[in-house]
Structure 1
Amino acid sequence: MAEISDNRVARRRVFYIPGYDPIHPRRYRELYRKEAAAQAGISGYDIALKPRKGENYGWQVDARVDGKVVRADVEVLVWSDIVRDSMSNSIPATYLQLLRTAWIYIASGALWRLMKLRKGPVIAALYPVGMLLAQLVLSILLGAGVGHLVLWLGSQLAVQLPVVLAGGAAALAGVATAIAVLRWFRKKDGKFFAYYLMHDYAYSAATRGANPPALEARMAEFGAVIAAALEEDVDEVLVVGHSSGAHLGVSVLADLIRAGRAPGEGAVLSFLSLGQVVPMVSFLPQAHRLRADLAYLSCRDELTWIDVTAPGDGCAFALCDPVAVSGVAPAGKKWPLVFSAAFTQSLSPARWKELRWRFFRLHFQYLCAFDRPKDYDYFQITAGPLTLGARYAGRPPSKSRIDRAVSKYTSQAA
């Protein structure tokens, strides 16, 4: 790992890789603005945002932490257009995705292996399947009910309708009702998240863990941007991968280091993975590339890699060492350092009670303020005066982490 004088940071470049998210990246700026102000008020430091110049989407952060002035340029590495293109607007196509995705995870044995880790993310993965099937059953039942009602009304008419005509009208009314119910659920998916999550899991499953060509091309662009930042006059280049963005970050950084584009002098290279769901991909049979990148990155001296999750986040594989559980931990493995954000301790009882059942909100808590912060503070990591390695030097991993090999598939790309 490269070092700088006393591990102090005055200038930092931060690259944030979102998860599978079709929303415009401005949401991350507004989230950072709101939550940084809240954390600064709680923890007693100053932080402010302003627009960042440049072609790509981001913002500039000016902070004073522990009397040290730091400037950070934050950039979102956007792949939301790829996400949107992968999300079918067709209801039948989504149900076809459901069948295909379920078959891939079950037939490959990945589902059973994942269940040996954490139940929360597996339940989250099964949720869209159950919800979509429940919506289909409800639409059929309501359609059948309307059809029977039409038949009964027809039988009550003074002039009896021919059986064929009455049956046709009932069938048409029933089908129309079922379709209307399914369309209503689709329209309200912002509350149910069934279609969104189904598209998410189907995206990786469609290629059985391999990266689609469009994503590979975008990842190469990410690597070029990060490599250019490493040549700038900055003290640290910090890559943050959240949710699905964590495994993208692993591959991007592995490629960058393999290509010799992470010099040992100059800026320190740091990687922070948050709320990772790596096993959902690395346990699939064709995830050769990801497994190779996990193994490679885990023993490199060119970077510091910290992995933060929390058992309170039911959408992440909390405290699962992504390298070890994927069965590819090499001799000499040193990364990642795995520890918990400890939601139940770093949030007050009142705040935890408010958020406890808001599962998707909790999956973003890593990017938010804590009213009883411990040693994890996203805003000090991204805008504070210490490098990621210096901040967590000597920090032991969480004792309850899972670091045994679980994946059935361990083959790696050549």
Structure 2
Amino acid sequence: MNPVTKRKIFYIPGFDPRSESYYKKLLLQNFPEIKASLSGQTKSQLSYQLGGLSVDYEILSWHESVRNHWLSGFKGNLINVATLFTEFVFKGGYLRGSKVTLRDAIQKGFSVYLFLAWFLLAVGLLFYIKQSIYDVYGGFATVLAMIAWFFLNALIYRGFEKTHIFWVTRIMRFFALYAKQQTVDVIEKEKQFQAKIAYTLQSKAFDEVVLVGHSVGTILTLNILSELEKNGQAKALSVFTLGHCVTGVSVVKGAAWFNQKLASIEYRQSYWVDVTSGKDAVNFYKVNPGFDTKAKPDRVLSAGFHKIFYKKFYKSLRWDFYKVHFLYLYKPDLPDKSVFNYQKLLTEPLLLKRLKEGAE
């Protein structure tokens, strides 16, 4: 009988106020084979065995910290947009990013383009409405123009809410706060996660220990990795960064400390795989998460969403950048069409061995 591979997976989600229960439910909905094979579970953890692989999966949730920095509503969204322009336009964040990747710098500025267009449209609408009705209403034209202008802009605002544009600006504000070390609560969470991972590695209770960071969670993941490496605790650790947003922090003025952390993992004992998608408008596609340092992943892979999901489903997501950013966690329709996807991490006993050997 072949031996069973015991794999421990730590998963750090992105900038999301939803708790670990949401991500556990998402996992079980997408992978019913895991639900049918459960041997135990808690709110943030579940265990299962499929064939030659035994998995202990744990969600390292930091949703409470996210809620501390999650601004919503009109005032909150206004603050987020102001931060976007201050840190990434006026202080040169986009300019610095363009030196790393011009393609992504142009693409990632889409929210700035939309808000500038909205501002110009709003000003133009106000004058147009006023001039159009002045001859009929005379002195009341200004009041009526303001009322009409307000309702038109309210419709535009609601449209932006539905397309998740303000979700992007919340993330951008977090980049700025994190880069300037104004998220003390998040740093404390990282220390807790680091201690838990270090303990697991030291216990040697598993054949493989894997740390997965998704979206903004990749930022926390690499900071934790740098500390584990510094303490000589990462030798048996494998790291996967999915849809990384790390560059969004690196380009902020004041992020020198973070970039030094990234530079420190150039020489490391851990194994690191970075997975991104050209379709994902939020991640930095095949851009080194190490920013302008020599620290690079051992493997850089494309998520290959266009190959692993049915064409009809994939085409339906053409403009839904929010859902595309979460596809890394979804069960693929054609898993064998890619070198790596989440199903392989959850169910394939020899995945890490195959990746380290460079087998396709």
Whether TM exceeds 0.5 here: the answer is yes
2:242 aligns with one of 259, 268, 274: 274
SS of residue in 1 equivalent to 2:219: helix
Are 1:342 and 2:304 matched, yes or no? yes
Which structure 1 residue ranges, 5 or more long, are not aligned? Answer: 1-5, 41-45, 156-162, 398-414
Number of equivalent positions: 356
SS of residue in 1 equivalent to 2:58: strand
Amino acid at match of 1:247: I
Residue 220 to residue 186, structure 1, CA distance change in 2 (3 Å): farther
Residue 396 to residue 338, structure 1, CA distance change in 2 (3 Å): farther
CA distance in structure 2 between the partners assigned to 1:23 and 1:108 by the alignment = 32
Partner of 1:63: 50
Residue 174 of structure 1 deviates from its aligned partner by 4.7
SS of residue in 2 equivalent to 1:322: coil
Residue 293 of structure 1 deviates from its aligned partner by 2.2
Partner of 2:253: 285
1:76 aligns with one of 56, 59, 66: 59
Residue 347 to residue 78, structure 1, CA distance change in 2 (3 Å): same
1:268-316 Cα deviation digits (max 9, x unpaired): 3211011112111112232223222222223211x21111112232322
Are 1:314 and 2:281 matched, yes or no? yes
Larger Rg: 1
More helix by share: 2
CA distance in structure 2 between the partners assigned to 1:269 and 1:28 by the alignment = 23
Partner of 2:346: 382
Residue 189 of structure 1 deviates from its aligned partner by 4.8
Are 1:197 and 2:197 matched, yes or no? no
Are 1:395 and 2:358 matched, yes or no? yes
Partner of 1:259: 231
Residue 384 of structure 1 deviates from its aligned partner by 2.7
Residue 240 to residue 48, structure 1, CA distance change in 2 (3 Å): farther
Partner of 2:329: 367
Residue 362 of structure 1 deviates from its aligned partner by 2.0
Summarize the alignment of residues 15-414 of structure 1 with structure 2, pairs less than 5 Å apart: 15-37=10-32, 48=36, 50=38, 53-54=41-42, 57-64=44-51, 68=52, 70-118=53-101, 121-137=104-120, 166=140, 170-171=142-143, 174-183=145-154, 185-186=156-157, 189-206=160-177, 208=179, 210=181, 212-230=183-201, 231=203, 233-262=205-234, 264=235, 268-301=236-269, 303-323=270-290, 326-329=291-294, 335-372=297-334, 373-386=337-350, 388=352, 390-395=353-358
Higher relative contact order (CA 8 A, sep 6+): 1
Q: Is the contact between residue 297 and residue 335 of structure 1 (CA under 8 Å) also seen in structure 2?
A: no
Residue 241 of structure 1 deviates from its aligned partner by 0.5
Q: Is the contact between residue 186 and residue 195 of structure 1 (CA under 8 Å) also seen in structure 2?
A: no
Amino acid at match of 1:280: G
Q: Is the contact between residue 33 and residue 48 of structure 1 (CA under 8 Å) also seen in structure 2?
A: no
Q: Is the contact between residue 309 and residue 317 of structure 1 (CA under 8 Å) also seen in structure 2?
A: yes
Partner of 1:412: none
1:302-360 Cα deviation digits (max 9, x unpaired): x211111122323221112222xx2221xxx6743212223333344444433344322
Q: State the TM-score, normalizing by the size of structure 1.
A: 0.73
Kindly report the root-mean-square deviation, in angstroms, between the aligned alpha carbons of the 2 structures. Answer: 3.3
Q: Is the contact between residue 108 and residue 281 of structure 2 (CA under 8 Å) also seen in structure 1?
A: no
Residue 349 to residue 212, structure 1, CA distance change in 2 (3 Å): same
